[in-house]
């Protein structure tokens, strides 16, 4: 007996429905990586603007124009999604920072390595990406600023993703400041971290404070000043004899 085209289509549709029920949230096409990145981009923007607690997975998937099941398929939970957002750029920037510090240590130029030079090597990879104008980096740095000021779980998150490269910076600075105590090195980095996250969050605070003389988005002005400012603090705190 010949099967009609309508019957064939109906049977195929039933088989597909059964397959979807067995595999909820499973991507149907080979563009899974693009979908995953779209979800991460949407989540990054929303987390930057509203923070972790105020954002729902459904809001993220609505912004990304995908089914909410896909977010659960790729990331499991909202915290899993947040961690993936955080890790994505942390991996990129940490690799660039480690390379920058290593290159400066190998070839510091005339006069040898300086505190300013190591701190600039640590900061420049971020400034370079901020200057590229890709909005994702601005969103990411806003998230980092939020996390760095979250007592509940911010410290653990920052430690998990950034401690190795921070220890590399501190080791390098320890090597050119004989006699510096670890307590002073860590406090000095702590102060640098606060300045760094506030600066790169680009809140507009300095724009208002200076009546427009300064702009929080002026990355070249940041490059010219932040390393020198931080180096002066490290030098004063770490190289002062304490009794």
Q: What per-residue confidence (pLDDT) applies to 74?
A: 96
- Cα Rg, the chain, nearest whole Å: 24
Where are the domains positioned within the chain?
A: 22-76, 88-238
What's the CATH fold of domain 22-76?
Arc Repressor Mutant, subunit A (1.10.10)
Pair 187, 237: CB distance under 8 Å: yes
Q: Quick one: tokens of 113?
A: 């390595």
Q: What torsion do the CA atoms of 84, 123, 171, 116 make, to the nearest 10 degrees?
A: -170
Banded pLDDT at 60 (limits 50, 70, 90): very high
Q: Write the CA distances from 98 to 6, 88, 105, 140, 162, integer angstroms.
A: 62, 16, 11, 19, 11
User: What does CATH list as the number for 88-238?
Assistant: 1.10.357.10
Hey, do 22-76 and 88-238 end up sharing a CATH topology, with the first three levels equal?
Answer: no
Mean pLDDT of the chain: 88
Distances (CA, A) of 156 to 80, 160, 191: 15, 6, 18
- Residue 18, Cα to own-chain centre: how many angstroms? 40
pLDDT tens digit sequence for 134-190: 889 999 999 998 898 888 888 898 998 999 999 999 999 999 999 999 999 999 999
DSSP 10-61: HHHHHHHHHHHHHSTT--SSS-HHHHHHHHHHHHHHHHHHH-STT--HHHHH
Instruction: Report how far residue 184's alpha carbon sits from residue 175's, in angstroms, rounded to the nearest whole number.
Output: 14
Those residues with Cβ within 8 angstroms of residue 136's Cβ, 6 or more apart along the chain or in another chain = 41, 44, 89
What are residue 4's phi and psi, to 5 degrees? -70, 155
Query: Range with the lowest mean pLDDT among 19-33, 39-53, 111-125?
Result: 19-33
Q: Is the pTM higher than 0.85?
A: no
Q: Burial of 222 by CB count in 10 Å (0-12 exposed, 13-18 middle, 19+ buried)?
A: buried
Please give the span between the terminal C-alpha atoms of the chain, in angstroms, as a whole number. 100
Residue 20: band (very low, low, confident or very high) from pLDDT cuts 50, 70, 90: very low
Q: What is residue 2's predicted lDDT score, i.e. its pLDDT?
A: 55
- Where b means 16+ CB within 10 Å and e means fewer, 45-60 reads bbbbeeebeebebeeb
| Nearest C-alpha neighbor of 79 from the set 104, 62, 55, 107 | 55
Is-contact 223 127, C-beta < 8 A?
Answer: yes
C-alpha to C-alpha distance for 50 and 56, rounded to whole angstroms? 10
3-state secondary structure of 149: coil
């Amino acid at each position: 007996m010949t099967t009609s085209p309508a019957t064939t289509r109906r049977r195929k549709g039933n088989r597909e429905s059964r397959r979807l029920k067995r595999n909820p949230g499973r991507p149907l096409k080979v563009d899974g990586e693009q979908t995953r990145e779209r979800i991460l981009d949407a989540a990054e923007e929303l987390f930057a603007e509203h923070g972790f607690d105020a954002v729902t997975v459904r809001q993220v998937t609505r912004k990304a124009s995908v089914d909410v099941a896909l977010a659960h398929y790729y990331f499991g939970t909202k915290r899993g999604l947040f961690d993936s957002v955080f890790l994505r750029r942390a991996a990129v920037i940490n690799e660039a920072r480690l390379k920058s510090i290593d290159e400066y240590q190998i070839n510091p130029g005339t006069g040898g390595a300086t505190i300013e030079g190591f701190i600039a090597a640590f900061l420049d990879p971020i400034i370079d990406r901020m200057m590229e104008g890709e909005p994702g980096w601005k969103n990411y740095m806003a998230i980092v600023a939020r996390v760095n000021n979250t007592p509940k779980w911010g410290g653990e998150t920052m430690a998990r993703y950034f401690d190795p490269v921070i220890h590399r910076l501190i080791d390098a600075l320890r090597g050119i400041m004989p006699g510096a105590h670890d307590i002073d090195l860590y406090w000095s980095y702590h102060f640098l971290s606060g300045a760094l996250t506030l600066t790169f969050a680009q809140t507009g605070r300095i724009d208002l404070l200076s009546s427009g003389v300064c702009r929080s988005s002026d990355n070249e002005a940041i490059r010219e000043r932040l390393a020198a400012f931080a180096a002066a603090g490290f030098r004063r705190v770490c190289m002062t004899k304490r009794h």
